[in-house]
């Protein structure tokens, strides 16, 4: 008893899961399309074929409609069972995806429309064979006409079944192909699909019309030409309806993914680098969808590398490195250099844990980076507890000296009240800016007297009120507004130099600053 209850519970869970997916809709649409096609051809044969044998056949075979409907019900049951057997691996995969080979599932899902069309074709062929055998007992000519009529109708229904299945299976195909798609032969190519749609939904009904007209002229049907008019009209209307339906689905199979790609491209243009499209087509369209997703993954990875690279070497340097091929060597550039060095970092490191030292340094350098970038400079490198900022390379900057001096003054204000304090030195001049190192490892940097002067000024600034220094030569290169915010001091001999250097430091806020 308990075993029966467990079986019943599992069955109910399976039915509940199945009903919660798109499969009931899929089964209903495919079934209705085939039933409508079967009923249509039965009515056409019964009332519109212009042959005297039809009337005698229906009178000789009692309950003909009942026989036809009985086979129709039988065919529906057979088709449902075959479809469930065919789809069972897919249903199992949807419930337990980790237990199935993704390649097997991918190939099966993408071929489901073809397999569904094959099941439909087999059922129709069996029905056609039965109809021809039954009709042959009355007339061989009637058997041939019924066979041709039902064959043409069956071909139309089979194609429409394929188009319906291809569209309805898209959500499942999108899940199966979510990761990758490399094979474009899982479904008929687009050109074959479109041509086949035209042939089976438009050409076949027209062929049926021509056969009736020719048959009437050859005496195959009734001698009264007026009696073939209803059949001709019915086939013409069928060509219009099936042609429109088939062409519409064929168009949607091509246009829908194109519109989705267009929308995804528009999202990318708006800056959405996470844009992706579903892959649900087993032809060239699927390759195009997969190619777009692969392109977006590459673009996202490139953006990620660029972002990480930019954090290490600076956005401008990273941009130039990605756009151009870096080579060893440099060029002469007129730049301004800002050097920042923490005061008492050794003592601070001794009295604090490494984690605390790193945390405070990061807080300190966060201000440095913000101020430098705000004034159009780049952080060229961090050297332990020091930072080197460059203004005017690699991107040329007009009035680079003024920007560097402004950054030094603002940084003085930003660092007030922080645990770590620093000396700040600014110097301008000609340097060699470029890639220095070996062929396998190099970095963008600047080398020249301006860098050395900024480092020496930073050492002096640590013991100077305000802790910011530049030299008179650098100050003369700034604009008048910036010069007004600095005052010239005494001359000193910097370490490693034989000539005197006149110093300058910022003064207090002027009336212009306050205004």
Q: What is the pLDDT of residues 277-311, one digit of tens each?
A: 888 887 788 888 888 888 888 888 777 766 665 55
pLDDT at site 328: 67
User: Chain-wide mean pLDDT for the chain?
Assistant: 81
- Report the C-alpha dihedral over residues 135, 137, 138, 144, rounded to 10 degrees: 40
Q: What is the pLDDT of residues 479-511, one digit of tens each?
A: 988 999 999 988 888 877 778 889 999 986 544
Q: Which residue has the higher pLDDT, 436 or 179?
A: 436
Q: Which residue has the higher pLDDT, 443 or 268?
A: 268
Q: Which two tokens stand for residue 320?
A: 């130039």
**Start-to-end CA span in the chain (Å):** 92
Picking from 91-95, 192-196, 321-325, 458-462, which range would have the lowest pLDDT averaged per residue?
A: 321-325
3-state secondary structure 474-490: HHHCCCHHHHCCEEEEE
pLDDT at site 58: 61
The structural domains of the chain, with segments of one domain joined by +, span: 2-259, 328-514
pLDDT at site 446: 84
pLDDT at site 179: 57
pTM for the full predicted model:
0.61
Task: Kindly state the average pLDDT of the residues 41-68.
Answer: 71
> What does the angle CA 71 – CA 76 – CA 77 come to, to the nearest 5 degrees?
100
Instruction: With a cut of 60, say whether residue 513 has pLDDT above it.
Output: no
Task: Kindly state the average pLDDT of the residues 457-480.
Answer: 90
pLDDT at site 427: 93
Tell me the β-bridge partners of 426: 338, 470
Q: What is the pLDDT of residues 153-181, one digit of tens each?
A: 999 999 899 888 888 888 777 777 765 56
Is residue 403 within 8 Å of 376, Cβ to Cβ? Answer: yes
Instruction: With a cut of 90, say whether residue 337 has pLDDT above it.
Output: yes
To the nearest 10 degrees (0 to 180), the angle between helices 23-47 and 2-19 is: 70
The structural architecture, per CATH, of the domain 328-514 is: 2-Layer Sandwich (3.30)
Contacts of 432 (CB under 8 A, 6+ apart): 330, 331, 332, 333, 446, 447, 448
The DSSP secondary structure of 69-133, one letter per residue, reads HHHHHHHHHHHHHHHHHHHHHHHHHHH-GGGS-HHHHHHHHHHHHHHHHHHHHHHHHHHHHHHHH
Tell me the β-bridge partners of 504: 470, 488
CB atoms within 10 A of CB 183: 15
DSSP strand pairing (468-471 vs 422-437)? parallel
Handedness of CA 290, 293, 299, 303 (dihedral sign): negative
Q: What is the pLDDT of residues 255-269, one digit of tens each?
A: 888 898 999 999 988
pLDDT at site 515: 39
Instruction: With a cut of 80, say whether residue 324 has pLDDT above it.
Output: no
Residue 312's Cβ-count burial label (10 Å; 0-12, 13-18, 19+) is exposed
Instruction: With a cut of 60, say whether residue 19 has pLDDT above it.
Output: no
Picking from 26-30, 148-152, 204-208, 352-356, which range would have the lowest pLDDT averaged per residue?
A: 26-30
Using the structure block, give the residue that is written with the tokens 């192909």: 177
Q: Which residue has the higher pLDDT, 227 or 260?
A: 260
Contacts of 140 (CB under 8 A, 6+ apart): none
CA distance 458 to 462: 7
């Amino acid at each position: 008893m308990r075993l029966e209850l467990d079986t019943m519970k599992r069955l109910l869970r399976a039915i509940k899961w199945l009903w919660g997916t798109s499969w009931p809709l899929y089964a209903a649409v495919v079934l209705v399309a085939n039933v409508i096609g079967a009923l249509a051809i039965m009515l056409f044969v019964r009332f519109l074929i212009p042959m005297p044998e039809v009337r005698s056949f229906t009178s000789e075979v009692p309950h003909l409609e009942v026989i036809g409907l009985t086979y129709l019900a039988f065919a529906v049951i057979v088709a449902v069972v075959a479809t469930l057997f065919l789809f069972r691996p897919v249903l199992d995969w949807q419930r337990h995806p980790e237990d199935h080979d993704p390649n097997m599932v991918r190939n099966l899902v993408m071929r489901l429309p073809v397999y569904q069309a094959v099941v439909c074709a087999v059922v129709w062929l069996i029905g056609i064979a039965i109809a021809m055998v039954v009709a042959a007992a009355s007339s061989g000519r009637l058997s041939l006409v019924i066979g041709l009529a039902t064959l043409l109708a069956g071909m139309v229904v089979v194609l429409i079944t394929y188009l319906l299945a291809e569209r309805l299976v898209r959500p499942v195909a999108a899940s199966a192909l979510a990761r990758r798609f490399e094979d474009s032969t899982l479904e008929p190519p687009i050109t074959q699909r479109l041509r086949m749609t035209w042939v089976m939904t438009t050409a076949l009904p027209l062929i049926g019309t021509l056969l009736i007209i020719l048959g009437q002229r050859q005496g195959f049907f009734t001698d009264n030409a007026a009696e073939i008019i209803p059949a001709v009209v019915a086939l013409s209307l069928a060509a219009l309806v099936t042609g429109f339906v088939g062409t519409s689905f064929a168009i949607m199979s091509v246009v829908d993914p194109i519109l989705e790609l267009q929308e995804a491209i528009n999202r990318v243009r708006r800056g959405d680098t996470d844009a992706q499209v579903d892959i649900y087509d087993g032809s060239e369209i699927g390759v195009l969808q997969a190619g777009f997703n692969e392109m977006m993954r590459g673009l996202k990875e490139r953006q990620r590398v660029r972002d990480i690279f930019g954090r290490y070497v600076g956005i401008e340097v990273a941009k130039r490195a990605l756009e151009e091929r870096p080579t060893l060597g440099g060029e002469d550039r007129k730049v301004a250099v800002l050097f920042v060095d923490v005061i008492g970092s050794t003592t601070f490191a001794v009295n604090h844990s490494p984690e605390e030292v790193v945390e405070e340094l990061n807080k300190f350098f966060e201000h440095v980076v913000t101020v430098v970038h705000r004034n159009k400079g780049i952080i060229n490198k961090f050297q332990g507890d020091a930072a080197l900022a460059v203004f005017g390379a690699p991107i040329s900057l007009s009035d680079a000296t003024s920007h560097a001096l402004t950054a030094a003054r603002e940084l003085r204000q930003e660092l007030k009240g922080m645990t770590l304090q620093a000396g700040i030195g600014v110097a301008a001049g000609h340097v060699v800016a470029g890639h220095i190192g070996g062929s396998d490892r190099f970095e963008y940097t600047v080398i020249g007297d301006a860098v050395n002067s900024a480092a020496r000024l930073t050492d002096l600034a640590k013991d100077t009120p305000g802790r910011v220094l530049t030299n008179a030569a650098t100050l003369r290169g700034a604009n008048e507004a910036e010069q007004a915010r600095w005052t010239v001091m005494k001359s000193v001999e910097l370490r490693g130099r034989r000539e005197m250097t006149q110093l300058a430091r910022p003064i207090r806020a002027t009336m212009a600053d306050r205004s």
